[in-house]
Structure 1
Amino acid sequence: MARTKEFDPDAALQSALELFWRRGYEATSVADLVEHLGIGRASLYATFGTKHELYLKALDRYSEATHPRLLTELSQPGPALPAVRALVRRFAAEAGAAEHRLTGCFLTNTAAELAPHDPRAARRVESDWDRLETLLHAALVRAREQGELPADRDPRALARMLLVLMQGIRIVGKASEDPARVRDAAEQALSLLDPGA
């Protein structure tokens, strides 16, 4: 008769996500995970596989939790540009907040730490960025169709500019103690959405 697991795998995955998010991949050892999750090494491997596989599962969970919120924010009926502006400003506010500086964004942290040399992590980062760019692009196309954005503006190029800006905001916000730096950058970029820009 198979022995039942003595822990909740879902709660353990969430706990692993929080530890990786706080410390990063390289600075988190299997011993750290065993201690933090309160489960044995054998149970950890049997349930999640290697440390790397557990990290990727945690990254998937983070993305799955983030995208429904972004979709809701950017696809509300009515004017589209206010939602785009609100999203960029939220990224800047979160990045400039003291508590956010300790962890930053788990996905952006992965992009900086693992993506350059880890193809599996890089694919997940690219996939996440593709989804965000698609959401921004759809909102900007809607804005142009509704007359909020001038007809000569390229929604795809603007979506890519905002994506890069938002990821940069997260990196700078994590390292800088001056929240005005990211706030001013966000406002300058958003001015490109103005009709007279």
Structure 2
Amino acid sequence: MARPRAFDENEVLDAAIRCFWMRGYEATSVRDLASSMGLTGASLYNAFGDKHALYERALQRYVDESVADRIRRLEDPAIGPRAAIGAFFDEVVERSLDDPDMKGCMMVNAAVELGPHDPDMRAAAGRTLGEIEAFFRRRVAAGQKDGAIAADLSPEDFARMLLGVLLGIRVLSRIRPERALLEGVLRPALAALEPR
């Protein structure tokens, strides 16, 4: 009979997130992870498999707790489409500025670090970016329908532009987390949404 786990899985996954997010995948050793998670190496392997499997679990928890949660909250029909897009970016900018370690977005970091040579990570990042793009597309389409968003570009094109702006902000926040810079990148994109 298997023994029950003597740890809270969410707590140790959160510790793994912090460790991977600070160092990146390649620079994080199993020893770093075990130490930060308060587990032995053997317990880590028994509970989560290898380092790659743990990274996938940690990244999925990060996405669920940040990106997916933000999308869920901002899909609320009580929030207007244009306001939802603005609130999405306000949260991203504030989160970027409140990060003294300049970690950026763990999902974007995974896409950049592992996406080019790891098909699993490329697929995972692609799914998440697709969900963000779909959120923008839905909000733009709803805003165009009610006249709150300009109709001169398709919802698909606006969504792709907003996704690019988001990625730019998240990458810039790792090296120049300056309010004027991040808001300056965002301002023209939001202005493009304004009805003419």
Other-structure match for 1:127: 127
Q: Structure 1's 186 and 42: CA in aligned 2 closer, same or farther, altered over 3 A? A: same
Q: Structure 1's 77 and 40: CA in aligned 2 closer, same or farther, altered over 3 A? A: same
Q: Distance in 2 between matches of 1:21 and 1:52?
A: 14
AA of the residue aligned to 1:32: D
Unaligned runs of 5+ in 1: none
Report percent identity of matched pairs: 33
Q: CA RMSD in A?
A: 1.7
TM-score by length of 1: 0.91
Q: Distance in 2 between matches of 1:138 and 1:187?
A: 21
Other-structure match for 2:62: 62
Show CA shifts across 1:104-138 (max 9, x none). Answer: 11111111111111111111100001111111111
1:1-197 aligned at under 5 Å gives the runs 1-66=1-66, 67-77=68-78, 79-95=80-96, 97=97, 99=99, 101-196=101-196
Q: Structure 1's 38 and 89: CA in aligned 2 closer, same or farther, altered over 3 A? A: closer
Contact 2:86 2:190 in 1 (8 A): yes
AA of the residue aligned to 2:185: A
AA of the residue aligned to 2:81: A
Deviation at residue 172 of structure 1 after TM alignment? 0.5
Q: How many residues align?
A: 195
Q: Distance in 2 between matches of 1:87 and 1:149?
A: 16
Q: Distance in 1 between matches of 2:51 and 2:79?
A: 45
Secondary structure of the 2:99 match is: helix
Contact 2:82 2:139 in 1 (8 A): yes
Secondary structure of the 1:99 match is: coil
Contact 1:92 1:186 in 2 (8 A): no
Deviation at residue 98 of structure 1 after TM alignment? 5.0
Contact 2:22 2:101 in 1 (8 A): no
TM-score by length of 2: 0.92
Q: Distance in 2 between matches of 1:16 and 1:177?
A: 24
Secondary structure of the 1:63 match is: helix
Q: Distance in 1 between matches of 2:93 and 2:72?
A: 19
Q: Distance in 2 between matches of 1:99 and 1:14?
A: 16
AA of the residue aligned to 2:186: A
RCO higher in structure (CA 8 A, sep ≥6) = 1
AA of the residue aligned to 2:52: H
Q: Distance in 2 between matches of 1:78 and 1:34?
A: 42
Q: Structure 1's 137 and 101: CA in aligned 2 closer, same or farther, altered over 3 A? A: farther
Contact 2:81 2:139 in 1 (8 A): yes
Contact 2:151 2:195 in 1 (8 A): no
AA of the residue aligned to 2:29: S
Unaligned runs of 5+ in 2: none
Secondary structure of the 1:60 match is: helix
